[in-house]
Amino acid sequence: MRVSIIGSGVSGICAAIRLKSKGFDVAVYEKNKMPGGKLNTFKLDGFRFDAGPSLFTMPQLVDELFELNNLNPRDYFTYKKKKIHCKYFWDDKTKFTAYSNRKKFLKEVKNKFKVDESTVNNYLKKAKIKYDLTEKIFLRKSLHKLSSFLNIETIKALFNLNIFQINKTLNEVNSDELKNKYLIQIFNRYATYNGSSPYKTPGMMTLIQHLENHFGTFVPEGGMYEITNTLFNLAKQIGVKFYFECNVDEIILEKKAAKKIKVNNNLIESDIIISNVDINYTYKKLLKQKFNHKSLKNESSSSALIFYWGIKGTYDKLDLHNIFFSSNYKEEFDSIFEKKQIFDDPTVYVNISCKDISSDAPKGSENWFVMINSPYNINQNWDRQIQISRKQIINKLEKILGIEIGKNIIKEKVYSPIDLESNTNSFNGSLYGSSSNNIMSSFMRHPNFTKRIKNLFFCGGSVHPGGGIPLAILSSKIVSDLIESK
């Protein structure tokens, strides 16, 4: 059977690998010159940057794709585990190092925040229980098939329903259980992993940090783009066909079944069509609004404003992942989701990949990926906002670190929600499709299929199970399983 996949984001490539390994004839059509979608790379003279996602967890999901094809992953893809998850900084000069080792992490919590180790350990254990109870139901299967719930895992989850804390927000859970304002802010931050507000997303979302604190964080040899590059090469090796600079203009339907795609004005016949582009774009542009779906009314997730800086000098106080918190986290999220504005004291994320990959920056310099959370695009004045935010970020970093930053920026590129929307067809420039600012958010995301159109499937961060590299990879598994069971 002929499968056409629209878009070569990580989920589209993974779906291609899975289906090809099951005997399907698979072709991927990509509008850009190279694969990866948001997970991409570029260079500014001697500085290399990963353009999009900078956090790598659950590497076993990548390894699994090689193992499906009887290949040893270590012959193709290598990575190392980080000893430090993240370094945190506050305006009052408080600093905290989140170690990957559980004992070291809990000891640091006790030393810095005077919080008993058992308090945080019990919190982390509860997050693990949530994850273990829901993984097979919510993350590895379609939520929109009755068969997904006819198993022992569903019964276990129902008997432990109270532990999911869906009637409280993430902030309420963290405030009740952690007490300390610094810890609350650290664990509230995980709501941003799917573009949501900790003051709206349900307490169930404590399971997000479990992926990081339990499985660990990793650095691929060669940087984050090696995830894309490695999977792309695997797909080609097993016979997947890729066509670049091939913009898909329309999904052609015949008797409510997807039959063809229109690519650069050519019609390509297909038995199965998978859209790995934003679900809103799929409906509004590719299906020409012939159909609609209630999930398209969901609130969009947050977006990001990113500065890529080539920095002169090296900074020993910083690691790969660094967070400089806003002094008023609640107001920051109110500004993003209610006012649709970037807050004037934004939380700043600084990723410096050359800390682990020395070739990413010239000797005596560093490559800084500097990101702040932003609202999705509703035609704000982004040119003006870029200038304002740039000054605010530099002032914040210089104040907390006590060093000059602005004068040491020797290369710069800026990426706004408009760029995200233009380059990846992300609706309104949102990072994760719809937000999870609702207790039913897991069920409100678009399914990986539609009952109204035969032979059409969906994968990627804008559909079930959600955004981020691990969930995008898992969506490819759900889709391939659905297609195989047709």
> How remote is the C-alpha of 408 from its chain's centroid?
30
> Do 28 and 106 reside in the same domain of the chain?
no
261/251 Cα distance (integer angstroms): 5
Strands (E), 7-157: 25-29, 41-44, 47-50, 79-81, 84-89, 95-99
CATH code for the domain of 249: 3.50.50.60
- Dihedral of CA 418/419/420/422: which sign? positive
Q: What is the mean pLDDT of residues 137-158?
A: 57
Tens-place pLDDT, residues 37-89? 999 999 999 999 999 999 999 999 999 999 999 999 999 999 999 999 999 99
272/26 Cα distance (integer angstroms): 9
Contact 251, 63 (CB under 8 A): no
Tens-place pLDDT, residues 225-234? 999 999 999 9
> Do 228 and 316 reside in the same domain of the chain?
no
> Do 412 and 331 reside in the same domain of the chain?
yes
> Do 291 and 304 reside in the same domain of the chain?
no
> Do 210 and 227 reside in the same domain of the chain?
no
User: What three-state secondary structure class fits 164?
Assistant: helix
Strands (E), 427-477: 456-458
> Do 168 and 238 reside in the same domain of the chain?
no
Q: Is residue 172 part of a domain?
A: yes
> Do 333 and 406 reside in the same domain of the chain?
yes
> Do 154 and 169 reside in the same domain of the chain?
yes
Q: Is residue 450 part of a domain?
A: yes
DSSP 259-279: EEEEETTEEEE-SEEEE-S-H
Q: Is residue 309 part of a domain?
A: yes
Query: Which residues on neighbouring strands pair with residue 303, listed in sequence order?
Result: 374
pLDDT at 162 over 80: no
Domain limits for position 254 = 2-38+63-78+221-297+445-484
Structural domains in the chain (count): 3
> How remote is the C-alpha of 443 from its chain's centroid?
19
> Do 409 and 476 reside in the same domain of the chain?
no
Among 39, 3, 43, residue whose Cα is nearest residue 21: 3
The residue written with tokens 């997000």 in the block is: 208
> Do 200 and 232 reside in the same domain of the chain?
no
Domain boundary among 197, 216, 235: 216
Q: Is residue 225 part of a domain?
A: yes
Tens-place pLDDT, residues 88-125? 999 999 999 999 999 999 999 999 999 999 999 999 99
Contact 73, 66 (CB under 8 A): yes
Q: Is residue 92 part of a domain?
A: no
pLDDT at 137 over 90: no
User: What three-state secondary structure class fits 22?
Assistant: coil
Tens-place pLDDT, residues 419-459? 999 999 999 999 998 888 887 665 678 889 998 999 999 99
Q: Is residue 58 part of a domain?
A: no
Domain boundary among 216, 250, 269: 216
468/11 Cα distance (integer angstroms): 10
> How remote is the C-alpha of 266 from its chain's centroid?
33
DSSP state of 221: T
Domain boundary among 170, 197, 216: 216
210/220 Cα distance (integer angstroms): 20
> Do 337 and 402 reside in the same domain of the chain?
yes
Give the model's pLDDT for residue 209: 85
> Do 244 and 324 reside in the same domain of the chain?
no
Q: Is residue 43 part of a domain?
A: no
Contact 360, 223 (CB under 8 A): yes
Q: What is the mean pLDDT of residues 355-367?
A: 98
- Outline where 145-295 has alpha helix (H): 152-159, 170-178, 181-188, 206-213, 225-237, 279-281
Identity at 247, one-letter amino acid code: N
DSSP H/E element including 176? helix 170-178
293/222 Cα distance (integer angstroms): 40
Length of the chain: 486
Among 288, 281, 361, 377, residue whose Cα is nearest residue 320: 361
Q: Is residue 94 part of a domain?
A: no
